[in-house]
Amino acid sequence: MLRIITVLGVVLLVCGCSCLSGSPSSEPFTLSITPSSIDANPGQQCVFLVSAPNVPGGTGDEAVEITATCPGATVAIEHSPVHQGESAEVTVIPGSERPASAPPTGGWTLTVKIRGDRAGWSYSWDVPILVNPTS
């Protein structure tokens, strides 16, 4: 029993609490996406600002490559890659065709997957667009 407690103590001392959480102890970046969701009409431009503030312990000198996809919409990205303190613009234009998985009446949701890559790290976030049908 004493050995188990000693081993656990050494692991916590060497690795810190992050060893128990299963997440990296120092991520090289995070993404900040504004807004967190949008309501739009088909054909309307939806603009998301994506910035990459540095995380303590990260390598702020390297740029973050921003990519985005959204089935059922047109996607354009400006100002990628981004460095710390800069922002990229992800423009999404929902199409007018209702997805087969959407209900036959009312609006539907498109999911924009925004991804950042830097120094071997990759993170992606899903951002919803609620598309309101036009009359």
Kindly report, residue by residue over 41-100, the tens digit of the pLDDT.
Answer: 999 999 999 998 765 455 556 789 999 999 999 999 999 999 888 899 999 999 999 888
Separation between Cα atoms, residue 134 and residue 130, nearest integer Å: 13
The reply to whether 104 falls in a domain is yes
The reply to whether 18 falls in a domain is no
Kindly report, residue by residue over 92-131, the tens digit of the pLDDT.
Answer: 999 999 888 888 888 999 999 999 998 888 889 999 999 9
The number of domains in the chain is 1
Biggest alpha carbon–alpha carbon distance for the chain: 73
Domain ranges, residue 51: 26-131
User: Does the bond joining 35 to the residue before it have cis omega, within 30 degrees of 0?
Assistant: yes
Separation between Cα atoms, residue 58 and residue 125, nearest integer Å: 19
The reply to whether 4 falls in a domain is no
The predicted model scores a pTM of 0.74
Separation between Cα atoms, residue 91 and residue 70, nearest integer Å: 10
